[in-house]
Structure formats: C-alpha cells, structure tokens
Amino acid sequence: MKYLIIDTTTKVTAVALAEDEKLVGEGFLHTTKTHSERIIPMLDQLLTATAWTLQELDMIGVVRGPGSFTGIRIGIATAQGLAQVLNLPLIAVVSLDALAWAGLGRTEDVVPILDARKNEWYTARYNWTLGEEKPECLTPPQAMPTGQWLEYLWGLDRDICFVGDAVGKAKGRIKEVLGDRAVILPEYASLPRGAYAARAVWQRWQETGEGERVEPYYIRFSEAEVNWAKKEEARRSERHG
C-alpha cells in the first residue's frame, strides 16, 4: 500500500511517501515561509524524486494536532482535498503520538513537548516496551504549564527522553529540573518528521483498515474563540443586567 503523509502542526512542514512500513521519501522544511507556500512544491518535488504519481496512492495520512491552529487547518484541508479528488481513504493521527516514534527502542519514557504559547506545552508521555509494535501512552495528550509539567516529571523519578519543537528553547530549564535524568535528542531527530507520522499512520491503518472522518484536534480553544466567548458572555450580561 502506497500512501502520502502531511504534517503541518508546527513550524516544520513535513511530507512523506511510504509503502507499507517502508519510508520511500521525505521532505522537511523549517524556514520562515508559510505552510501554504511550501507544501505543494514540496509534494511535487517528492513525487518527482520518487517517480511516483498521485494516482498510484492508496491512502492519505495527516497529522491533526495538537499544534498550530492555522497549521492544523492547512494540513487537514490539503489532505481532505487530495483524498476527495483521488477518492482515497483518509487516516489521521495525533501529533504527540507521531512524535513518540522518535523514541523508538529507547528505554526512557518519551515525552513530546510542543509550543502551545502562554508558557504552556502540548505534551504527553509514552514508553516503548520491548517487543511491542507501538508505544504505550502513559499520560494522555494535554496542554500543561511548563513548570507544572516538569515538576510532575521530576516526581516520577524516571529517565525522560524529550522530543518536539519546544525542546530547543527549553533544554536549559529541563536540565535544571531533571538533571541527568533528562535525555535531549539532536534537533534533527527531535523535530516532527514525515517519517514518524508515516509509522503512526501505518499503525493506525493496521488497527482500523478503513478511512475516517478527520477533525482538528486542538485540545484547547484558540485565542480568537476565547475572545469571542468573552464578548458573547459580556453581551448576555448586558441584556440581563
């Protein structure tokens, strides 16, 4: 089975082509350009390099969040458009689940941290048990204040391998709290990649065997939605005041 993977949940644009469990090609860009500017040229280049065509694909995979609200929408819209035009099943995975594959085979707990702004991270905790085909999720995805999450991890008394786009800026603080129990992977292995999402999508396809309706996974409301709710609440208060 041949499939395309799209991940635009962070500032990284990641695209991959895979066949069953085998990664065939991967595109990775971490520049100042927007996902809208990068994703289609990247896909065209990847198809040319692999000598694949869109018509050969059997499935489309997309990462549905959490992460950047705009990025999530762009990735899902692109994947849905391709799936509709090509009449292909669509499979979605959670960004944190995909990043857990960066720690494949490691003995430490794997903790993805993605920048959620407002001094918070989107995060979860996973562990790879020897012989298992996918990571076990020990702490489910959530948005957590950075200090509170590090304090919680410190209290577990376990070695932690950190991955994700928030690691670069936070590595000093992570080491300060967890000391030698913190493992920081190199940036090229830590950032979201199409290769990780491809493994997560293939695993999900093995479990479901069919396409699904894809909805964004935001975890929390966007700032625009919060402001709108506040305005609505103020209007209701004025009417009933």
What the chain holds in terms of domains, given with CATH numbers, is 2-94+192-223 (3.30.420.40), 96-190 (3.30.420.40)
**Residue 231 class from Cβ within 10 Å (0-12 exposed, 13-18 middle, 19+ buried)?**
exposed
Q: At which residue do the structure tokens 């590595």 appear? A: 171
The C-alpha atoms of residue 209 and residue 3 are separated, in whole angstroms, by 13
pLDDT given for residue 195 in this prediction:
97
Pure H helices in the chain: 35-50, 69-86, 95-99, 146-156, 167-178, 187-190, 194-208, 223-240
b/e map 65-81, b = 16+ CB within 10 Å: bbbbbebbebbbebbbe
Q: Which DSSP state fits 181?
A: G
224 has a pLDDT exceeding 70:
no
Q: What is the pLDDT of residues 166-218, one digit of tens each?
A: 999 999 999 999 999 999 999 999 999 999 999 999 999 999 999 999 999 99
Euclidean distance between CA atoms 54 and 39, whole angstroms: 15
Residue 234, pLDDT above cutoff 60 = no
With cut-offs at 50, 70 and 90, classify the pLDDT of residue 132: confident
Q: Is 230's pLDDT higher than 50?
A: no
Tens-place pLDDT, residues 31-56: 989 999 999 999 999 999 999 999 99
CB 99 within 8 A of CB 185: no
Higher pLDDT, 32 or 111: 111
Q: What is the pLDDT of residues 57-83, one digit of tens each?
A: 999 999 999 999 999 999 999 999 999
**Distance in Å from the first CA to the final CA of the chain:** 62
Q: Which helix H or strand E contains 124, and what residues bound it?
A: strand 120-127
- Altogether, the residues listed in the chain come to a count of 241
Per the prediction, the chain carries an average pLDDT of 92
φ/ψ of 177, rounded to 5, equals -80, -45
| Predicted pLDDT at 213 | 92
